[in-house]
Amino acid sequence: MRKIQTLMIAVAVALLFGACGTTQKTGQTATDKTATAPAADTIRVTPLAEVLSIKELVGVFADESNADAAMAKYGYKVKKGYEVFRVDKYDKMYYKNCRLAKIITDGKYDDYPRALKAGISSWVAVKGESMMLGVFNNAAYENLVSQVKMNGFHLDMAGNEDIYTDGKYYIACNKNNRTIRIQKV
């Protein structure tokens, strides 16, 4: 019995040291790997046809007088004075392929607009010095984040909201809520 225990310990130690060893291929260095990787600024993505693009979002944010025309182009409906109960109050809420949440009292809603099954659902909330674009699926969200990177914004701070900047604007991308929020620096 003692021999079996000794043998099992020896095998366990051999496996442990064997797993700690590393193997390295010769002939390829770290600089070779970075040379073949595409540069971040060469990434190109086609904006979704049904959702406001990041470039247009920045344009609308820079000159809010163009907002109604840009939103009408994509078929967004508008609700003025939209307040999410105990969360935030917005001057305007544009929504597409969504239904408004349940009204609690006097223009106060229990949540943001809710997605319908038809098309890509999205909403744009306008509040003073910020604007927020929300989508309901991961593919649409990832497309928007790729557009942020493609339009010259670089990561300034990672976290719950990844914050990108171009020196004039901050764009905060919240993966959990699938929202893109823009505001001036």
DSSP 62-93: H-GGGHHHHHHHHT-EEEEEEEETTTEEEEEE
What pLDDT shows up at residue 54? 94
Does the pTM surpass 0.85? The reply is no
In a domain, 31, yes or no: no
Helix (H) or strand (E) holding 161: strand 161-165
Enclosing domain of residue 173? 47-184
Domain count, the chain: 1
Within a 10 A sphere around the Cβ of 100, how many other Cβ atoms?
Answer: 16
Q: Is the pLDDT at 142 greater than 70, yes or no?
A: yes
Alpha carbon 57 to its chain centroid, in Å, reads 14
In a domain, 109, yes or no: yes
- pLDDT tens digits for range 28-71: 444 444 444 444 445 688 999 899 999 999 999 988 888 888 99
In a domain, 15, yes or no: no
In a domain, 118, yes or no: yes
In a domain, 5, yes or no: no
Query: Do the beta carbons of residue 52 and residue 133 sit within 8 Å?
Result: yes
Predicted confidence band of residue 162 (pLDDT cuts 50, 70, 90): very high
In a domain, 98, yes or no: yes
In a domain, 12, yes or no: no
In a domain, 35, yes or no: no
- pLDDT tens digits for range 87-109: 899 999 999 999 999 999 887 99
